[in-house]
Amino acid sequence: MMRVVVVGAALVVMMLGWGVGAAWASDGEIAVGSKKFTESVILGEIATQLLKDAGIPTEHRRELGGTRILWSALLGGDIQVYPEYTGTLEQEILAEENVRGEDALRAVLRARGIGMSRPLGFNNTYAIGMRKDRAQSLGVRTISDLVTHPELKFGFGNEFLDRGDGWPALARTYGLPQRDVRGLDHDLAYRGLESGAIDVIDLYSTDAEIRHYDLAVLVDDKQHFPRYDAVWLYRLDAPAGVAEALAAVEGAIDEETMVALNGRVKLDRVAESRVAADFLADLEGMVTSDRLVDAPDGWSRLASRTWEHLGLVLVSLLAAIVVAIPLGVVSAVKPRFGQLVLGVVGVLQTIPSLALLVFMIPWLGIGAKPAIAALFLYSLLPIVRNTYSGLHDIPTPIRESAEALGLPSRVRLFKVELPMASRSILSGIKTSAVINIGTATLGALIGAGGYGQPILTGIRLDDMALILEGAVPAALLALLAQGAFEWLDRLVVPRGLRIRPEN
Amino acid sequence: MLELSGVSKAFGRLVAIRPLDLLIPPEQTTVLIGPSGSGKSTLLRLMIGLATPDTGTVSIGGTRVTRETVRELRRKLGYVIQEGGLFPHLTARANVTLLARTLGRDPGWMGERLSELCRLTHFPEDAMHRFPLELSGGQRQRVSLMRALMLDPDVLLLDEPLGALDPMIRAELQSELREIFRSLKKTVVLVTHDMGEAALLGDDIVLLRDGAIVQRGRIEDLLGRPADPFVTAFIGAQRSPLDDLARRNEP
Ligand SMILES: Nc1ncnc2c1ncn2[C@@H]1O[C@H](COP(=O)(O)OP(=O)(O)OP(=O)(O)O)[C@@H](O)[C@H]1O
Ligand SMILES: [Mg+2]
């Protein structure tokens, strides 16, 4: 049995290798990362085009979740460049070191092998905003004015809720009494504000929506928020010329420009690559033809996402099957070991999926590999448990008949016990498959692509059609999987077990 | 043929078999009888190694039953239990031939053997492709018996093989079993509750109570020279054992 487990583990490693090698091969020498909000994606696109112009093959790994994912990926060498903000570096990434000021930051980063450019020119700090009409009627102009309105409902981005300079610190600085504080996606917060479901949200001061929704930005009268100057972070071991190429936009993007760029993407629905190309054309007074990659048409886009999504689900599921069935078999034979195994895979299941994805990055980097590993771990429990219970529930007379017949244990397992447990095992695999198809959409947060990508972009751009472009195929795939397993049931479960005795 | 010496077995604090010696002679039918819980099944399970004795030894044809020898020994034993214990996912044929196929027996030989067994057990050969759930209770027991007989074992261990059948089929199978045992000259150990069945099939009857042997002998001995008032009480408690016996013992 041990041998089966070892062979299984080897197969898993091979499949992981295949998955990463085949479907997600990267073509650039340099990878630029960006976070999952529009400004970061535009800046990532600008960096990518600058580097390409400098003759450095570059790919843009866009919309990779949040700060922690990008920072880990930069340290791990999965990406070489990404846009960051000094405030985030001070308050969050290097919060323990208590560094203040550009030069100090640069020195601390250098010690970790990371370079930091000069500021790009705009300060995208956090700000607190309300609808202008509501602010005027309540007479709220500064953050301090909020103290006298404890009934106001606050809705903050999840990142703002738990960062060093976020809500808890803000409440302390100003002595804010509000208790109705909800965490929600930054892009959804604007909708809540518009509908009146919430009164106060956090903003980025370069958000295009400020003008669009006619919002009042409350004055930070106690200067709570630090500066969030945009800078490039890059690995010092990146190829020569990278830092020089990126330096072309130092001090070149002021706040007004950034708001306009954001507005073109979010409000006018222009592609980030186009917006970035136009900006660089204005800046340098020239247009390079190879800057713009034509967006693939709908069908081929759908096909490649389906391919990515299926890759994530199938590779992780196959690996889980190969590992979980032997684990379930051993668990059924050795009860002590079984308790241990069921306990461990049970605990794995309780780790929130996003957290599990982030845990994987230091080992496996970003992209498909960590996503497959996380999905693999999630798939284990249903299969192990159903294999175990399927074997455990075989009636004693039948188990003993096989033994009394003098069948070798291997024959008993493969000819009697596993076939009898097949229905239970198959339904465990089905559970895993369906869960996997849903959970794999989160893979987009760490650059694994799949149906999660349009969902992610759709949420960011507040584009329902784009969200559906991911959500509908994912739901269809889940349904398809259900159907496929019904058919497999007929194929795999022996006919004798499917007969219903007529009484 | 089969020898238990000093064998005892307890489940936790419950003593199922008190230390006992039992010799099963070859080529005849020994019946284990006794009230429910008296340890009949446990004794049979000790013989085939599904239970291991706390004390004493079990040996079959001179070989002691141990972890190492048990699998080989089992192939010389046929075991049939009340509900047949047939594998529900295999057809009747696959149930009967599973061990033979595992051992790589010749398919031609297997086919002949199947026909022979179908004739012997009065099982319609064209029903061999059916699954256990598609067979009647009596047919299932016939298939179970065929499975036990497939490799022509020396010993048959039958634990209430007819216990779940209705009286008509039961009577029919009882006489068929008698014919089979006679013609094959097997060493048979049969467990039953039913004194009539014991009298009909047994050359030798072992009466058990609370894990101990109360009396052993032919039916005449148990009737005529009871070793203990319990023997008479047990026989008396059967519905109409004497009429039954009188009828069946007439040639
Ligand atoms: N695996 C087991 N675990 C615990 N107790 C058991 C086990 N097997 C048998 N026993 C107990 O041992 C005693 C003898 O059981 P056994 O099955 O041998 O009786 P039996 O004579 O075959 O009864 P019946 O006529 O009801 O089949 C019973 O009290 C039973 O409860
Ligand atoms: Mg019994």
In chain B the domains, ranked by start, together with CATH numbers, are 2-76+155-246 (3.40.50.300), 86-152 (no CATH)
Confidence (pLDDT) at B242 = 55
Beta-carbon-side half-sphere exposure of residue A418 (alpha carbons within 13 Å): 13
Cβ neighbours of B133 in A, within 8 Å: 496, 499-501
**Which residues neighbour ligand 2 (ion) by CB within 5 Å?**
B 41
B→A interface, C-beta within 8 Å: 48, 50, 71-75, 77, 79, 81-83, 85-91, 98-99, 102, 131-134, 147
Distance from the Cα of A322 to chain B's closest Cα (Å) equals 24
Residue type, A357: L
| B180 Cα to chain A: minimum distance (Å) | 20
| Spatial distance between the Cα atoms of B62 and A107, rounded to a whole number of angstroms | 87
SS3 A347: helix
Instruction: Report how far residue B122's alpha carbon sits from residue A279's, in angstroms, rounded to the nearest whole number.
Output: 93
The pLDDT of residue A439 is: 93
Tens of pLDDT, residue by residue, chain B (251 residues): 899 999 999 999 999 999 999 999 999 999 999 999 999 999 999 999 999 999 999 999 999 999 999 988 998 999 999 887 999 999 999 999 999 999 999 999 999 999 999 999 999 999 999 999 999 989 999 999 999 999 999 999 999 998 878 888 888 889 999 989 988 889 999 999 888 899 999 999 999 999 999 999 998 898 889 888 888 888 888 755 556 566 666 55
pTM of the model: 0.79
Distance from CA of A476 to the nearest CA of B (A): 34
Closest Cα to atom 3, ligand 1: which residue? B11
Using an 8 Å CB-CB cutoff, list chain A residues near B81. Answer: 397, 400-401
**Ligand 1 pocket, Cβ-based, cut-off 6 angstroms:** B 11, 14, 16, 34, 36-42, 193
The answer to ipTM > 0.85 is yes
Buried-state track B178-203, b at ≥16 Cβ within 10 A, e below 16: eebbeeeebbbbbbbebbbbbbbbbe
Domains of chain A with CATH codes: 2-18+297-498 (1.10.3720.10), 34-121+228-282 (3.40.190.10), 126-217 (3.40.190.120)
Gap from CA of B40 to ligand 2 centroid (Å): 6
The Cα A229–Cα A203 span in angstroms is 15
Contacting residues of B for A404, CB less than 8 Å apart: 48, 50, 74, 77, 79
Pick from A174, A109, A116, A99: nearest CA to A142: A174
CB pair distance less than 8 Å for B98 and A407:
yes
In A49-193, where do the E strands start and end?
Answer: 58-61, 81-85, 114-116, 126-131, 154-157, 181-184
Chain A positions in Cβ-Cβ contact with residue B79 (cut-off 8 Å):
401, 404-405
Q: What is the pLDDT along chain A (503 residues), one digit of tens a residue?
A: 445 555 555 655 555 555 444 444 445 589 999 998 999 999 999 999 999 989 999 999 999 988 989 999 999 999 999 999 999 999 889 988 889 889 999 999 999 999 999 999 999 988 899 999 999 999 999 999 999 999 999 998 887 887 777 898 999 999 999 888 888 887 778 888 888 889 999 988 898 888 888 888 898 999 888 889 999 999 999 998 999 999 999 999 998 899 999 999 988 889 999 999 999 988 876 555 454 555 567 788 889 899 999 999 999 999 999 999 999 999 999 989 999 999 999 999 899 988 888 888 888 888 899 999 999 999 999 999 999 999 999 999 999 999 999 999 999 999 999 999 999 999 999 999 999 999 999 999 888 889 998 998 888 887 888 899 999 999 999 999 999 999 999 888 998 888 875 54
Distance between CA atoms of residues A132 and A155, nearest Å: 16
State the CB neighbour count (10 A cutoff) for residue B133: 15
Q: What is the B10 CA–ligand 1 centroid distance (Å)?
A: 10
Question: Distance between CA A289 and CA A304 in Å, rounded?
Answer: 25
CB B231 within 8 Å of CB B214: yes
Structural tokens at position B68: 């190492």
CB-CB under 8 Å, B74 with A404: yes
Q: Which residues of A touch B (CB under 8 A)?
A: 397-398, 400-408, 411, 415-416, 419-420, 494-497, 499-501
Contacts of A419 in chain B (CB under 8 A): 89
Long-range contact list for A51-54, CB < 8 A, 24+ apart? A51/A81, A51/A242, A51/A245, A51/A246, A52/A288, A52/A290, A52/A291, A53/A245, A53/A280, A53/A288, A53/A291, A54/A241, A54/A242, A54/A244, A54/A245
Residue of B nearest to A409 (CA): B71
Site to substitute for ligand 1 among B38, B82, B158, B213, most atoms within 8 A of C-beta: B38
Q: Starting from the edge strand earliest in sequence, which strands make up the sheet with B14-24, in order?
A: B14-24, B2-11, B55-60, B63-64
Q: Whose CA is nearest to atom 26 of ligand 1?
A: B36
Nearest by Cα to A28 from A57, A60, A63: A57
Cα–Cα distance between A431 and B239 in angstroms, integer? 55
Distance from CA of A423 to the nearest CA of B (A): 11
* Average pLDDT score over chain A: 88
